[in-house]
Amino acid sequence: MGSDDKLAESNGSSGGRTPPGYNQTKRQWARGFLWVTAILLLFDRPLLSLGTSASAVYTMHGGTILSHKNFKWSCASAISFLVSLYALTLRTESKFVDGERAYELKATLNLKHRAAEIIWGGILLLFLGLTVKEKIDNAIESTASAVKNISSSMGGSGKQKKT
């Protein structure tokens, strides 16, 4: 077994299961980029959101694709990139349309790009918010179990005696 084989086994790329938390840093960076992307989409900044979503895609591209968590964030990053590109394209096209001659076309293009930004930005914020809620729930649960363990190790039932 060569040193490359040992390295492949240590980082989980030998074809087996990767260790827990192997791509956690990549997912955290991607979530950070997606938070910024969602906010930029809601504030009608498709060019900047295209950059941040591209950063999220780039961050996740080196991860293990077979991981459920990585797949979820890779898909969210790719969809964000496509929505940002779509919104930027429609916004740019609407600038070339003469508002006096083709008012309906210009209004339709503006409506479509804003609708795409608002809908996907809202879905992405909901998705990211649920992730935060899950982390808070896990922290509360582990705190409650730690308090219960401490209480039981001190010999009490968790209730104080009246004097």
**pLDDT by 10s per residue, the chain, length 163:** 443 343 344 444 445 566 666 688 888 999 999 999 999 999 999 999 999 999 999 998 876 777 788 888 999 999 999 999 999 999 999 999 988 899 999 999 999 999 999 999 999 999 999 999 988 988 899 898 888 888 888 875 545 555 5
pLDDT at site 117: 95
- Residue 127: inside a domain: yes
pLDDT at site 58: 93
The count of domains in the chain is 1
pLDDT at site 13: 46
pTM (predicted TM-score): 0.75
pLDDT at site 70: 85
pLDDT at site 2: 43
- The boundaries of the domain holding residue 45 are 23-150
- Residue 16: inside a domain: no
- Residue 29: inside a domain: yes
- Residue 89: inside a domain: yes
- Residue 156: inside a domain: no
CB 47 within 8 A of CB 88: yes
- Residue 51: inside a domain: yes
- Residue 10: inside a domain: no
- Residue 111: inside a domain: yes
